[in-house]
Amino acid sequence: MAGAFLLFFSSAPYAQDIPVRTGIHPGYGRIVFDWPEQVGYDAKIRQRELIVQFDKAGNYQLDNVLLGIKGYTGKPIVDPTKKTLTFPLLDDFSLKTFTAGPKVIIDLQVDLNADNSNEVAKESSAPPVSGVGFRFAEHPDYNRLVFDWPQKVQGAISQADDKLTVRFDKGATVDLGKLNKQKMPFVQNGRVIATSPKLTVEFGLAPEVQARIFNVGPKSVIDLKVGTAKKTASSDKKINEVQSEEKTGPVDGNKKQVNENNKNENIETVKSAQKKPATASNEPPSSLPKLEELAGPGPLSLLPKPTGVDTPSTAAPRKGEQQPEVVAQAAPKDDITTNVETKSSSEDITPPSPQEGGDANKGNTKKRLSSPQGNQGPVKLSEFKLVDAPETDDPDTERSIEQDLVTLTEPLEIPNLVPPPGRSADLLPPTILNFNWKEETGAVVFRRGEHLWLVFDREGPDNLAEAIEAMVPHFAPVDTQPVAGATVVRLTAPATQVPRLSKQDNTWTIDIRRRSSLPVQAISNVLGEGENGPEVRFLVKSVSRLLSLSHPELGDRLIVAPIGEPNLGSSDIDEFPQFRSLPSYQGVVLQPTAEGLVVALTSRAVVVRSRDQLIVSDETARSLPRSGEVRPSPPIRMLNLEADRLGTEDDYLRNLQELQRAAVETTGMQQGLARLDLARFFFAHGRVAEAAGMLKLIGQENRRLSDDPSYQLLLGATQFLSDKFDEAQKTLSSPVLAGEWEANLWQAALAAAGQDWGPAAIGFSETETLIDDFPQNIRNKLYLLAADSKLHVGDTGSASLLIGKVLSSEPTDFEKAQADYLEGQRQLQDGFPEEARTIWKGLKYNRHRPTSARARHALTKLDIDEGTITQEEGIEQLEQLRFAWRGDKFEFAILSELGDRYADELDFRKSLHSLRQAASYFPHSERADKIAKRMQEIFEGMYVEDGGKRIPPLSSIALYEEFKELTPLGDKGDTMITKLADRLVDVDLLEQAGNLLEEQIEFRLEGEEKARVGNRLALIRLLDKSAEESLVALDTTKSDKMSDDLAQQRLHLRARALAELSKEEEALGLLTDDESLDALRLKADILWKQRKWEKAGKILGKLIPASPPEDRTLNDKESQAVINLAIAQTLSEDNEGLKLLRDSYSSIMSKGPHSDTFKLLTNSLNSGSVTSIAEELKQISQVQAFMDQYRSRLKSSPLSEIN
């Protein structure tokens, strides 16, 4: 056996550990296999799979590739020989492979000509849901019901009078018991109609209450409030006025104004199609496009449509939308959707006639485009205007989303990053808007001036601006722009407020906060050759249509391409002779500047060409990459640091004196320019403080210069280098710096200082060539920030180059220490922990204290992760590290980490103490609220998960008393208190349990629930022999509305307490008509205490069956009940009853635990010793059957289950 095992083991292939790294770049995704030596390989794409085969086995470290490469591959599979890896591909790509030393590099390049029109998306059915949480809350003007699904589920509501029916598309069970016990003003009751195959529930509503349903993540939320009239007289009047205007046409003044606003604006949209021969016809040569072509998602055209020509569409319409008609005009074969063409025109607008447009408003309940008069020649967009559509009562119209589209949620969790010691940029609390679309929707987000534009390629409700402004009044005013078939929202947001986007299913989440304005991912553009000459391609895939927007203040026209992939935007302005590409956070934004421009969609790109020929200057042609190759264009610089330096350091004093003399001897604007030259000189030599002082003087005395872009750039840079991050953020967000290369560099630096690593890495990648010209102290600071950013996004190769630049530049000791620390991080990420450990050990006692602290923290974390030290030892080292650098975010992060590690070790006291220190020491930190939530999570977990059994009982109540301010409101907090009370009763800490419930009753509960917990408190006081306090508990928790069971239980507890206080007759009076088992036991107890044996015997006789069971023996409790009855009959001298009891039970009692006692009592009938036995039994106290029953129940179940 052993030999066989050894033979099998030795036959396994020898495999080396091979790090695998990935990266996403503009136009391609990269996979790098870091072999330690040269290796033969082969890579190919076959049946949508990338197959990579090596001639050696390897243990591939796929931690960063477990879910594949986003947008490129799925999860890889390694075959048993460990020589072949298979990556499923998510799209069609071309393959490029090469080596760099022993590294094998594989690039998956976007194939612009690939056709993916036949792909079919597959949806996996979710598993059935066994149970779903339900909660409710009462708000000042509405009530809210929430179904806590584990995943997103669609729901629909129908309302008939006071009945609301909710149907979900998944099956589940739900408990509405608490809602029925605690009614709300607008919801009277609830019941489950069906649980399978789809959950259906019904609620009873108060009169005139209206309901709406929407989703917040996986939660289904129903809001109920008193409805208002849907239409007022004023609104009717307004509609009539608009319709009247539509019939008569606008007045001449309006016509002239609209014509001026739309001068030189003509946007034509053309569908890609195959040419067909025209047929002869006597009909007019062309007809106007229908509204569906203008507002629909597919092929659009504002050109005249030749009559009699029918061209098939190559782009499928969206679900639920009508297939638009297609214009018979050829386009390049790779164009699948939309062309937009611009043309200069100054023709007047002709008032539309009411007969024109045909079915133009069909299916559109909000706005429609009126049709222009005439049908000869090209149709201009300026000839179409938006007018109110007729009201419709069609129940199928899409008006149900008017209250459901946008929701405001709490901020997302900020990652628990450990920042470097020292000052760093703050992250302000964000504003998070959710756009809950019901179908697939693309988005464009960009800034123009003070407005943040949010554009979606699907139409939203009419009152969207008012709804959003009510949610986010700090972004008021909020307005919407009328665009058919789309939603355009403008927020008035400071330039420092920057959005980030995420998407789940069809819900877009827009997180707006102060951060770097750089996009998370940059859209790359390439120069290509089309059928009509040069064309510029913006590489995006998930675009379904193009939209034309008009700026209401500036009057210019924009063409935007909404895309479905979040956080893919443009970081700067690309200038072309005929158009501009504007910066965006999401999507493509183009600004035509000349006539004849054509914008088209392909399956892979937004393509810009000209009707004649796109003009591309030699400089632009050289800067733009071709055929997927990515080459950044050289920056256009506002600062010439080499010239500003005026020579070397040897000339510094002479040049300084000349510049100072010029600044003193001149006046006015000349003096301002001289001061600006002096500030540039200081900055070029690395004298940041001197440059900042001069710039401040210019801002105070030469205000005309303060708007100059170079001044703003220099000011923002000095503010950043002086750690004035708030001021730098505001300065660098100035509109005059939008899209400037040098401004992007400092925006990237700000992003790194705020730990916004993705945008920081992108910004540094685009502006890295600018850093070389800075003086060494500034240059090395930027290189270190860039390297840190690269490491945080996993680009260790770029980080290594940046670190090398610092180390090769004769750095200061402090700069070298920081570079060495980052090199340790790179070594660790590349799979060399021992090398990283060696570097960090050398930095533990470095004179640069921030680096020393970072190195010590990294060592501790590495040792814990690798198991070289225990968690307890690691915690001790972290406690010491707290004092290595104090008073900023580093200490805050260490305290946060200690809180989590103590919680992992179940040392909840120290965990909560550490987190409380973090929150109290740094109350203004952006993460203080998150710490408070984390404390609450730990606090709840101590008691809710297992009832506090992980903690000793006395420690459990002590922790509760110390941190009870963390007790959550509502049901969750009540559940926590209930479980803690159960735990205390379980270990006989009755006084502490009673005090806990007493506080809950006083401050947290109302109505029936208060009475329920009052019963538990009364029982605890009885068990603790405090009958008076038991009565107080019952008196203070009275409720007019209680269930019959709860009221009966309160009656029994009150009777027991009265009996304990020697008020037996009053107690018996309460139980006169009660024949329940508990009441019989209680009566027996009281009568026994009163020594009324005859009455006690009659009651005890009711507690046992007339005939014993025949199929089993009696248990101890049943046997004891028979003995109690025998005693009562003996003491009351009820010989007949005792004889009957003996005859019935002698046989079965002889087999039980009380056999001898029963014989003694019943045999006395024959011996004549009944009287003497009775005298002895009179010394026996009460039977305590009632309290014994409760004690028994508490042994087998918690206190909270008694009612």
**pLDDT tens profile 484-496:** 889 999 998 887 7
Report pLDDT for 573.
Answer: 78
Residues 6+ positions from 39 with CB-CB distance below 8 Å: 54, 55, 56, 102, 104
Q: Is residue 24 part of a domain?
A: yes
| Residues 441 and 585 reside in one and the same domain | yes
| pLDDT for the residue numbered 558 | 92
Residue 928 vs residue 434, higher pLDDT: 434
DSSP secondary structure string for all residues of 1077-1130: HHHHHHHHHHHHHTT-HHHHHHHHHTTS-SS--SSS---HHHHHHHHHHHHHHH
Who contacts 534 (Cβ-Cβ below 8 Å, separation ≥6)?
Answer: 527, 528, 609, 613, 614, 616, 621
Question: Which residues contact residue 721 at a Cβ distance below 8 angstroms, ignoring those fewer than 6 apart?
Answer: 688, 778, 781
Q: Say whether both 485 and 570 belong to one domain.
A: yes
Average pLDDT of the residues in 586-593: 91
Task: Identify whether residues 618 and 652 lie together within a single domain.
Answer: no
Same domain, 436 and 524: yes
Specify the number of domains making up the chain: 5
- Quick one: tokens of 612? 């004649």
Q: What are the CA-CA distances from residue 618 to residues 269, 610, 615, 624 (Å)?
A: 30, 17, 10, 10
Judgement on whether residues 615 and 538 belong to the same structural domain of the protein:
yes
Residues 545 and 654 in one domain: no
Longest dimension (CA), the chain: 137
List alpha helices for 1132-1169, DSSP H: 1135-1149, 1155-1167
CA nearest to 1054, candidates 1041, 1037, 1040: 1037
Shared domain check, 604 and 554: yes
Neighbours of 1062 (CB within 10 A): 11
| Average pLDDT value for residue range 772-785 | 93
CA distance 59 to 78: 9
Torsions phi, psi of 306, nearest 5? -60, 135
At 533 the pLDDT is: 81
| Residue 168 dihedral angles phi and psi, to the nearest 5° | -105, 160
Buried b (16+ CB within 10 A) or exposed e, 3-24: eeeeeeeeeeeeeeebbbbbbe
Asked if residue 541 and residue 474 are part of one domain, the reply reads yes
More confident call, 884 vs 1040: 1040
In a domain, 705, yes or no: yes
What's the pLDDT score for residue 316?
A: 37
Q: Is 840 part of any domain? A: no
- Tell me the pLDDT tens digit for each residue of 1079-1109: 888 888 888 888 888 888 888 888 888 788 8
| Interacting residues of 730 by C-beta distance below 8 A, sequence separation 6+ | 495, 496
**Model pLDDT, residue 804:** 92
Q: Which of 814-823, 984-993, 1136-1145 shows the lowest per-residue confidence on average (mean pLDDT)?
A: 984-993
Is the same domain home to 658 and 559? no
Q: Is the pLDDT of residue 67 over 80?
A: no
Beta-sheet pairing, 200-205 with 209-216: unpaired
Taken in order 995, 996, 999, 1001, the sign of the CA dihedral is: negative
* Residue 142 near residue 225, CB atoms below 8 Å: yes
Domain endpoint, select from 179, 201, 226? 226
Which two structure tokens, joined as six digits, stand for 1175?
């005298």
Q: How far is 23 from 70, CA to CA, in rounded Å?
A: 9
How far apart CA 219 and CA 356 sit, in angstroms, is 46
Please tell me whether residues 540 and 679 are part of one structural domain: no
- Among 708, 738, 768, identify where a domain stops: 738
Which pLDDT does position 166 carry in this prediction?
A: 93
Q: According to the model, what pLDDT value does residue 805 have?
A: 92
- Neighbour count for residue 319 (Cβ, 10 Å): 8
Amino acid identity at 357: G
User: Per the domain annotation, does 704 fall within a domain?
Assistant: yes
Given a cut of 80, whether residue 951 has pLDDT beyond it is no
Q: Which domain holds residue 688?
A: 634-738
DSSP 8-class letter at 198: S
Nearest one of 395, 342, 363, 396 to 296, comparing CA atoms:
363
What local confidence, expressed as pLDDT, does residue 387 receive? 37
Mark 753-763 as b/e (b = at least 16 C-beta within 10 Å): bbbbbbbbbbb
Q: What is the pLDDT of residues 693-746, one digit of tens each?
A: 999 998 888 877 877 888 999 999 999 999 998 899 889 888 778 767 788 899
**Between residues 1132 and 401, the one the model is more confident about:** 1132
- 181 found inside a domain: yes
Looking at residue 273, what is its pLDDT?
33
Whether 511 maps to a domain, the answer reads yes
pLDDT at 317 over 50: no
Higher pLDDT among residues 280 and 814, named by residue = 814
CA-to-CA distance for 527 and 504, rounded, in angstroms?
Answer: 33
Contact yes or no for 909/917 (Cβ under 8 A): no
Residue 576 has pLDDT above 60, yes or no: yes
Q: What is the 3-state secondary structure (H, E, C) of 796-834?
A: HHHHHHHHHHHHCCCCCHHHHHHHHHHHHHHHHHCCCHH
Q: What is the CATH number of the domain that holds 73?
A: 2.60.40.3500
pLDDT in the model for residue 631: 41
pLDDT confidence band for 175 (50 / 70 / 90): confident
Answer with the one of 593, 623, 653 that is the final residue of a domain: 623
Packing angle between helix 1007-1023 and helix 1027-1035, nearest 10 degrees? 180
Contact criterion met (CB below 8 Å) for 278 and 306: yes
Residues 685, 580: one domain?
Answer: no
- Contact yes or no for 217/148 (Cβ under 8 A): no
Mark whether 593 and 476 lie in a shared domain. Answer: yes
Q: Hey, is 550 helix, strand or coil?
A: strand
pLDDT digits (tens, 9 = 90+) for 996-1030: 888 888 888 888 888 888 888 888 888 888 888 88
The CA distance from 41 to 39, in Å, is 6
Residue 721: per-residue pLDDT? 94
Task: Return the CATH number at 640.
Answer: 1.25.40
> 800: which 2 tokens?
């290594």
Residue 1114 included in any domain: no
Torsion sign over Cα 1037, 1041, 1046, 1052: positive
Alpha carbon 1014 to chain centroid, angstroms: 40
- 844 in a domain, yes or no? no
Q: Is the pLDDT of residue 1038 over 60?
A: yes
**What token pair was written down for 1106?**
């007339």
| Cα torsion angle, 966, 967, 971, 976, sign | positive
Confidence at residue 318, expressed as pLDDT on a 0 to 100 scale: 43
Residue 276 is predicted with a pLDDT of 35
Provide the pLDDT for residue 415.
Answer: 40
pTM: 0.48
Q: Residue 392 pLDDT > 70, yes or no?
A: no
Contact assessment for residue 709 and residue 736, using Cβ atoms and an 8 Å cutoff = yes
User: Considering only 622-626, 804-808, 1034-1038, which range has the smallest mean pLDDT?
Assistant: 622-626
> If residue 536 lies in a helix (H) or strand (E), which one and from where to where?
strand 533-539
Confidence (pLDDT) at 687 = 93
Q: What burial letters (b/e) apply to 666-701, b meaning 16+ CB within 10 Å? A: eeeeebbbbbbbbbbbbbbbbbbebbbebbeebeee
Greater model confidence, 125 or 166:
166
Out of 37-46, 65-74, 385-394, 649-658, least confident range: 385-394
The pLDDT-based confidence of 443 (bands split at 50, 70, 90) is very high
Q: What is the percent of the chain with per-residue pLDDT over 70, rounded to a whole number? A: 73
Band (160; pLDDT cuts 50, 70, 90): confident
Q: 348 and 605 in contact (C-beta within 8 Å)?
A: no
Give DSSP secondary structure letters for 413-443. Answer: PPP---PPSS-----PPPEEEEEE-SS---E
pLDDT at residue number 659: 92
